[in-house]
Every structure is written in C-alpha cells, then in structure tokens.
Amino acid sequence: MDALKLREDFPILFQTVNDEPLVYLDNAATTQKPKQVLDVLKHYYELDNANVHRGVHTLAERATADYEAAREKVRHFINAKENAEVLFTRGTTTGLNWVARGLGEKIVKKGDRIVISQMEHHSNIVPWQELAHKVGAELVYIDLTVEGELDLVDAKKKITSHTKIVSIAHASNVMGVINPIEQLSALAHEVGAVMVVDGAQSAPHMALDVQALDADFYAFSGHKMCGPTGIGVLYGKRQWLEVMDPVEFGGEMIDFVYHDHSTWAELPYKFEAGTPNIAGGIALGAAIDYLEAIGMDEIHAYEQALVEYVLPKLLAIDGVTVYGPSDPEKHTGVIAFNIDGLHPHDLATALDMEGVAVRAGHHCAQPLLKYLAVQSTARASFYFYNTKEDADRLIEAIHATKEFFGHGFI
C-alpha cells in the first residue's frame, strides 16, 4: 500500500499549522475526506439535487437510484444478508439510541440485566443507563485485564440468564484494543440475549462480516471512514428489525396514515422518517468504494505496522505511560498515553505548535479513565494516509515538548 500516493487524494493534509507541515493524528475523532468523496458531494448538489423515493422526474429518479445504490454498497461492505437490514442514521450514536429505545424498551424488564464493558464510549453507555433507569434494569460492566483487554472470564460471569442485551465496542476509541465479538455474541446468544456492537472504531479500519460476527445489531459512522459527517449506518438482523419499533415518526416511514393511527412502511424505510441525508448517503457509498479499492485487510495491516513502528519509540521516552495492549496485532491505530508531569492538554497544545494534531481529554469515555485511575490522556490515532515520517514527527514533537517543559516536570 502506497500511503504517500494515497495522501495526494487528501488536499487538507497539505497545509501548514503554526508554520509547520500538518501531521494529522486525530483520526479516531474524524478522518479526512479524499477528493473522490468531495467530488461526489459536489456532483450531487450541482446536478442531481432532489428528494428521494417521492418524485418521478429525472433528478428524483437519479438521486433515488444513487442513494439506494449506496445502501447496497454498505450491505456488501459489512456482508449483511439483504439491503432491508441496512438503516441509514445520523451516526453511531443515533443507531445505538434507536436500539435502546425501539427494542430495549420492549424486551428489557425490571430486574433484567444489560451488560456493557468498562471501555465503552459514552454513546454506548448513556442510552443503556437511560433504559435501565426507565424500566428498572441492572446495568453491569465487564472488567478489563491488566493489558486493557476485555476480561472474558468476567464476561462469562456477568452475562447470565437475566441478561437481555449485551452491547460492546468492536474496538476501543481510547486504547485501540480489538474485542472478540464472535465469542461475545456466542455468550450472549447462549442466554437468549441480543448482541449489539458499536463499530465506530472498527468499520473504518478492518474488513467486516456481520454474519460471521453474529451481531444482532452493528452501528457505525461515515465521518470516521472518509465519508461526510451526519451519516451513519445501523445494521440489524431482520428478525429483530421486525420486532423493533421506530423512534422517529413522520413522512417516508409510513405505509398508510388514518385519522387515528398509522401503519409502518416495509424495512428499511420503517425507521427512516423524513428527508434523509441524501448527499451524505451517496458520499458514504463513494467512501466505501475508495476504501475497498485500497483493501480493508491492507488498511488494517498497514495500521498495525505503524503501531509496531511507533509504540516502542513512544515507550522509550522517559516518563511515558501507554494505555492498552502492547501487541500491535491486538490494536487499531489508536494509542492513548500520558507523560509524567505534563497535563495532556498542555501536551496537545505544545504538539499543535509543532504542527502535530492529537486529541487530549477523556475521549467521551469517563468511566474508562476512572477505571484506569487517570483524569485524561493524550491520544494519537493513525490512519492509512499517515506515514512513518508522521510517527517520527510525533516522537520528535514530544521530545521538544518535554524539553520546553523542563524534561517533563513542571
């Protein structure tokens, strides 16, 4: 994979920040968009802008065809059985909320158990907290190993016959750890529970097969995989989507509206109320085309090689603590770390002065950071358009920052 050549597709990377060439290492928050995706957005608004599923005029038919073609691209990308199992959403958060409200409120009762883990993003915590409070269920957290991996022994103890929903991130947005979803699905299904997966940090980085994972639901976002913001996907097995209720109501999602009640449209439209993010859906299809042309296995292997290259250099810096697995094969391109005596926000600000963009804070994972006994961390997250030179710039900038702050002690 020629990362240097691929970088040419991303105009935003060729700029200076604080008089330094930009090194963008905040890909876990959002990824940059290639020209191929930007061109599709421009083409839609300039030539095909019309509402979908409604008009019979030429523009409406073109827009509808492209929008539904994007749904088919998603289906193929994740290996869903049929397009009816692919729902377009605003993003991962929306998808998880739809499941918690539309299905959770139907199947979870007082005294039942909802199982998540200590490493979840707030989007995979708060909806389940709200559901538990509403129905009187118990929210239970699977613990982690010393390495920061999911503790499967603890998972087996906590996924009991009282469990109705298990919801776990496929990959952590803080530690980069990749979770064994197939094994967790098996544990959930043994007790009749529904398996929900937060795929925000996995869909952009590895080949997906929701049937092999045996996930009942799988949610992810377009903007983290070279697509635009405001578009995402919720995959659901047909058997559960038929049971699940929509949580938004209005146009498009109805079959017929009577004076006193309404009936819902067939899948997937049952859940997609109102005018959708048409341009976003079409552009997400273009992003999938782009990623598949590179190869998801190639992207994953390349990111692991970057982690293998940069992690020892990071750990060799005096006073550095890295959170998560040390084995690159268990890692996405996400690395969370702290430096003794430096607040992560000071570190991130100083790195920005060197042109290096990283994230600092709790990363929407406050329970995890409490579990790790830290207030916040810095986070560098790599993608396929990053290079070993970017990794070296990160290391050099950290050394410069430590020098500026008196070798890491203030």
CB 304 within 8 A of CB 328: yes
Check 50, 191, 305, 364 and give the catalytic one.
364
- Residue 126 and residue 106: Cα distance in Å, rounded? 18
Tokens of 16: 């200076």
Query: Considering only CA atoms, which of 6, 43, 91 is closest in space to residue 286?
Result: 43
Q: Tokens 């830290």 label which residue? A: 374
Distance, C-alpha 30 to centroid of its chain: 9
- Residue 402 and residue 383: Cα distance in Å, rounded? 26
Q: Judge whether 226 counts as a catalytic residue.
A: no
Tokens of 227: 């697509």
Query: Considering only CA atoms, which of 162, 58, 41, 172 is closest in space to residue 118?
Result: 172
Tokens of 192: 């009749």
Query: Considering only CA atoms, which of 382, 296, 289, 387 is closest in space to residue 36?
Result: 289
Give the helix/strand (H/E) hosting 53. none
Tokens of 50: 């019309």
| Strand arrangement of the beta sheet that strand 320-323 belongs to | 320-323, 334-339, 377-381, 359-361
By annotation, the residues acting in catalysis are 364
